Amino acid sequence: MTHTPWIKTCIAVLATCTVASALAKGEFATPDEATAMVKKGVAFIKANGKDKGWAEISNKAGVFTDRDLYLVVYGLDGMVHAHGANEKMIGRNLIELKDVDGKAFVKERVELGRAKPNFWQDYKFTNPVSKKVEPKQMYCERLEETVVCGGVYKN
């Protein structure tokens, strides 16, 4: 008695499930995924402390990086405490940073962070996947004297 047809059926089902899972997730992150990731990041920082939280957010291979979605943490003074796409930004004050259209998006972000517990912000930024400057929509939540943010590129 041979099990070959049964094995082929199992392999076909597994392949179908894998493809369906990949298609369901999509190539790019969605606004709902960004919101969920920020909430997860805030909860992680609250549970594990700033040092461990910021280190995990800055880990490109960590749980807070998914396709073109990553988290950043800014102090309300414009200082970068964590950055999931570019560790060279950590420790730099970017309050004066402007996008390609001249929008002082970091300044706007910290002002919004002071005024609101959570918000969406639009600006343009380099997509780490495509390496192109693209319109971006960032969801942020205030956490003490910081804002934890994650965004999606509008390709």
- Asked if residue 11 belongs to a domain, the reply is no
Res. 155 pLDDT band, cuts 50 70 90: low
- Asked if residue 12 belongs to a domain, the reply is no
Tell me, what CATH number does 56's domain have?
3.30.450.20
Res. 6 pLDDT band, cuts 50 70 90: very low
Mean pLDDT of 139-146: 98
Q: pLDDT value at position 25?
A: 62
pLDDT in tens, 82-140: 999 999 999 999 999 999 999 999 999 999 999 999 999 999 988 878 889 999 999 99
- Rounded-to-integer distance, Cα 36 and Cα 113, Å: 18
pLDDT in tens, 10-58: 334 333 333 333 334 688 899 999 999 999 999 999 999 999 999 999 9
Q: Tally the domains of the chain.
A: 1
The residue range of the domain holding 121 is 28-153
- Asked if residue 109 belongs to a domain, the reply is yes
Judged by phi (left if over 0) then psi (alpha if -120 to 50, else beta), residue 76 lies in: alpha
Nearest Cα to Cα of residue 47 among 120, 147, 140, 143: 143
